[in-house]
Structure formats: C-alpha cells, structure tokens
Amino acid sequence: MEINRIHTPVMLERCVELLAPAIGAPGAVLVDGTLGMAGHAEAFLQRFPDLTLVGLDRDLDALGIARERLAPFGDRVKFVHTVYDGFVDALDGLGIPAVDGILFDLGVSSLQLDRVERGFSYSKDAPLDMRMDATSELTAEVVLATYSEADLRRIFHEYGEEKLSARYAKAIVAARQEAPLVRSAELVKIITDVTPVAVQRQGHPAKRVFQALRIEVNQELAVLERAIPAALSTLRVGGRIAVESYQSLEDRIVKRALAAASSSTAPPGLPIELPEHRAEFTLLIRGAELASDEEKAINPRATSVRLRAAERVRSAA
C-alpha cells in the first residue's frame, strides 16, 4: 500500500506495549486523538480483535485516507472530524462515557508535509496555507498580511523560539507593503536575505518561522493545553494515555499536564495524606522516552520524538 511507504508510525511497538494492559479486554475503547493516516490505529485494531477505536482528526484529507485504510474493521472504528480539544464532545456524541486508552501523535503529519499545496514545507514552493483543517478560515497568508510587526515578532519568538524574530518581523512588514506575500518561496527569500551567513550555516533560516506560523494558524498549543486535561478526564481507572511530541513547546505542555495529574493535592506539611488527596494518575515513564537509534535511522520522523505516558489509578473525586 502506498500509504505505508510514506508513513511509518513512530515508536509503534512501545505505544502498543504501554497501552496493551488497558485495552486488551473485550469491549475496550481506544481513542486515537490524532488519527492521521491511521498507521497506529491499524496496528492496534489488528492486534486487539475486541477493541473499538475512535479516531479524531481535523484534517478531512487524512480522515478520507483513514476511512479507506480501516474499512476492513467495519463498525469497530468510529470517525470524528474535530480538533482534538473537542475530545469530550466527540465521545458524548458517540454515547461513550469513558475510555480505556488514549493516544496522541502530535505535530504536522506526513500527509500534510508531503502534499506540497498545503504549504507546510519551507523547502517547496506552495501557497502560504498551513491549515490542518481546510474548512478553517485562518491561513499563513492571512497572518502575514494582517498581523502587526509586534505580533509577528511575538509568535516567531514564542512558537518558533527564533532569536532573530524581530529582524524577520520587520522584513516581512516591509516586504508586504510592496506586494502581498502569497507563496512560501517568497517568504523563504525574505527570511534568507536578512539572515547572516553564519546563522544560515546552522540550519535552514526559515525552519522556525514556518513552525511558528503553523502553530499560530492551527492554534496548536492552545488546543493542546485544553486537550490533555479533557482527555484525562475520560479515562476510567486502569486506563492509560500515551503522548508523542516532536518539539519542546508541545512536550512542555504534556509534561506539565501529566505531572499535575500525577501529583498529590494534599496541603504542604500535612502529616497524613488523605485518600481524596491522592494522585489520580501515575506516570509510566520517568521523564520522556526517546526512540532508539535503530528507529531513528529507519524513520527520520522519530529523531525528535518525546514519548510520555500515564495510567489512571484513582477515580476523580
């Protein structure tokens, strides 16, 4: 299948290992919050024959591919077109009150990168789009045309961790006064022209700006801030969550959310921890787990992955 050639699920075996204790029983429900082209989902459905899978994705192209790929599993799969902070509403709509497993594979998908017309890649000329959901209104072109210099500087700094954010914002505002920016190659040229040669030797100068624009267009960090606590609230006792992040901003949000859920709420200095103060979750991985060197060599997307996981050990108060 052509999909398998372009999409290799990251840390698949480890995700299966982490979630297996929670989803092996008949009637178990696993939510894939970032279904994509269904690489992970297909593997879980094959290995757990009694599993029901709910697949969420904001990308209609990805949902179309996933529907075709997962068609052999029939009504064991439920598809929902939604951004993943709509987690609880999606389950409510399906009449599912609680789930046994949750998987998030964050970031831009292989499909989005490989389809040039989507505009996610700085290495290929395309319209400045960058929408994960083609039905939404905000595009990278709109951001570059309408945001103030201060706002552009802010998103480049916050979402791209770009040290030259002020320089790039100023250059973009100057350029758009001459002509609208509509193609990715135009943006790359503006950035490259004002980047010192020494900095260019450290990597492509547009990489962080493109990341920042993608995050802004899709509100990825704000969505993630809402999505992880919402997802955790749906797990029944013994249920497990695994989250794969690909850049430090995402991983920081996941780390904070799982740390809060796995911490006692007892006031400092209390001699005895009361049952209602005990943590609702326990971490399954100390820190973040990385892909093996062997997997990184085979699958370049695994190079930057950070995997975190937790299990619900107590019901909510």
Q: Please determine, for residue 297, whether its predicted confidence score (pLDDT) is greater than 70.
A: yes
Q: Determine the CATH number of domain 2-111+220-312.
A: 3.40.50.150
Domain with CATH 3.40.50.150 in the chain: 2-111+220-312
- Would strands 29-32 and 52-57 be described as parallel, antiparallel, or unpaired? parallel
* Predicted confidence (pLDDT) per residue in 108-152, tens digit: 766 656 666 677 788 889 999 999 888 889 999 999 999 999 999
pLDDT category of residue 271 using cuts at 50, 70 and 90:
low
Q: Please determine, for residue 18, whether its predicted confidence score (pLDDT) is greater than 70.
A: yes
Query: Which parts are annotated binding residues?
Result: 38-40, 57, 84, 105, 112
- Predicted pLDDT of residue 1: 37
Query: Which parts are annotated binding residues for S-adenosyl-L-methionine?
Result: 38-40, 57, 84, 105, 112
Q: Rounded distance, CA 6 to CA 20, Å?
A: 26
Q: Please determine, for residue 270, whether its predicted confidence score (pLDDT) is greater than 90.
A: no
- Predicted pLDDT of residue 217: 95
Helices (H), the chain: 2-6, 12-23, 39-47, 60-69, 87-94, 110-114, 140-146, 149-160, 165-176, 184-193, 197-200, 207-218, 220-233, 248-261, 293-298
Domain with CATH 1.10.150.170 in the chain: 117-218
Domain 117-218, CATH class in plain words: mainly alpha
Mean of per-residue pLDDT scores for the chain: 91
Kindly report the pTM of this predicted structure.
0.89
* Predicted confidence (pLDDT) per residue in 211-234, tens digit: 999 999 999 999 999 999 999 999
With a CB cutoff of 8 Å and minimum separation 6, the contacts of 57 are: 34, 35, 36, 63, 66, 80, 81, 82
